[in-house]
Amino acid sequence: MSETSPLFDLSGRVVAISGASRGVGLAIARAFLRQGASVVIGGLHQAETDSAADTLRTEFTVGPERVSASWGDLSHQNAADNFIHAGLNAHGRLDTLVANAGIDIIQPALQYTPDQWDSIMTTNVRAGFHLARAAARNWIQHPAPGRSVIFTSSIAGTVGIPTLAPYSASKGAINQLVKTLATEWAPHAIRVNAVAPGYVDTIMEGVRVHDDPATEQRIRRFTPLGRRAHAEEVAAPFVFLASHEAAYITGSILTVDGGYTAQ
């Protein structure tokens, strides 16, 4: 009789997560730590990123060998390279990159300025591409099994949601980037996937439109499960996609939306 092992066991693995100083990104870091992985917390601001890493070390009773931090504007290739190398230097290896950092501005399409468009596309697409490329370059030079990139997409990348024009465009771009990189890097045993959440109970900083009760009612009405996702429910699929159990999955967009896009 063969021995059994815990599903999604990531003991000894190292995962770098951008946009992990708060919200869904922080929940993703917690999910990986629960499965035995070590994590690199990425954020834009040093104080907030260091504070998030300290919080995780306290919660999980671990030290810097399990939780490290790196900060910077990842839309610049050198900062993205530094983020990947920070994980390698702190933990000696890197198995999974979660390109999660993102921003949103909610307003009618006619009101967006060119700078707002560029800011969303730069943070949501360019930074993720720079990170993925930095990780892949290292992995191709030092081949090993089990490497993967997981992007954070959104249901807005596949369905039309008013007042989200640049955000939707950025997530549609992520979906196509996933498919392209998955096919391009498959010969190097690098898997590329994305998780596409629906509405989550952790709201992006600066987004106030969801304070409107009518907006909340609309979200619940169009979501068959009748509620927003908890951040932990969105984080769990990232663990699955990074695990050995997902070894034959690449080029996929895993939708986690309570049935929103099923209608």
In angstroms, the CA 201 to CA 40 distance is 24
74 burial class (0-12, 13-18, 19+ CB within 10 angstroms)? buried
Q: Which two tokens stand for residue 113?
A: 């300025």
Whether 30 contacts 235, CB under 8 Å: yes
In angstroms, the CA 216 to CA 145 distance is 44
- Catalytic residue list: 167
Considering only CA atoms, which of 188, 163, 179 is closest in space to residue 251?
179
Considering only CA atoms, which of 236, 250, 251 is closest in space to residue 10?
236
In angstroms, the CA 172 to CA 164 distance is 12
